[in-house]
Amino acid sequence: SRPIQAYIKETFEGSILQLEKNLDKLYSYTEGRGIDKEDINKLIIKSGTKHKYDLLDMIIAGKARDALELYNELIYRRTDPGELLESIGGRLREVYNYKIRLSGGMGQEQLMKELNEKFPWLVTKKSDTYRNIPMERIKKMFDFLVDTEERFKGTGTDPEREIEMLILALCGTARA
């Protein structure tokens, strides 16, 4: 189906040969039944971008253990801590941009236009997630991000440890 094809395209990272091997694995695993997202998540190696997005979803949900496990996997894959810091900052800006527009009563079509989103289902998903995050939590998350960025760029601290501590602090805001 088209949604599954799009999900594989968005999720997979690698060469055409690797994709062919992963598709063979999927077909064998599903034994003729339809392929769903759970099958893809179990068997196909996710792209670094998809992993970073998953990491940020876990942080927003306050799932510290899962977020740290994924973070360690990203570091193992040699993802640059500075790149992760930028991704976290970008996602927090996205949360803020959605939140202020949703608080103002903006509808889906206007959100798509103002935030340059192409898929209505994605706007709905993000709106449902971000709508429930209190503005005070978003502010605390930005404060933690700025503090980490100052230490990260201004001192000789260990960048991997700084991001790890940031993840814990951001997850902790879900309970505050």
Rounded Cα distance, 81 and 63, in Å: 19
Tokens of 99: 């939140």
Confidence of residue 13 (pLDDT cuts 50, 70, 90): low
Q: Which residue type sits at 30?
A: T
Query: Per-residue pLDDT for 49 more than 60?
Result: no
Tokens of 55: 């990491």
Query: Per-residue pLDDT for 148 more than 80?
Result: yes
- The dihedral through the CA atoms of 110, 111, 116, 122 has a sign that is negative
Name the CA radius of gyration of the chain, rounded.
18
| pTM for the model | 0.70
Which of 27-34's residues contact partners 24+ apart within 8 Å by CB, and which partners? 34/1, 34/4
Rounded Cα distance, 170 and 140, in Å: 8
Query: Per-residue pLDDT for 170 more than 80?
Result: yes
The tens digit of pLDDT for each residue in 55-113 reads 888 899 999 999 998 898 888 878 889 889 999 999 999 999 999 999 999 999 999 99
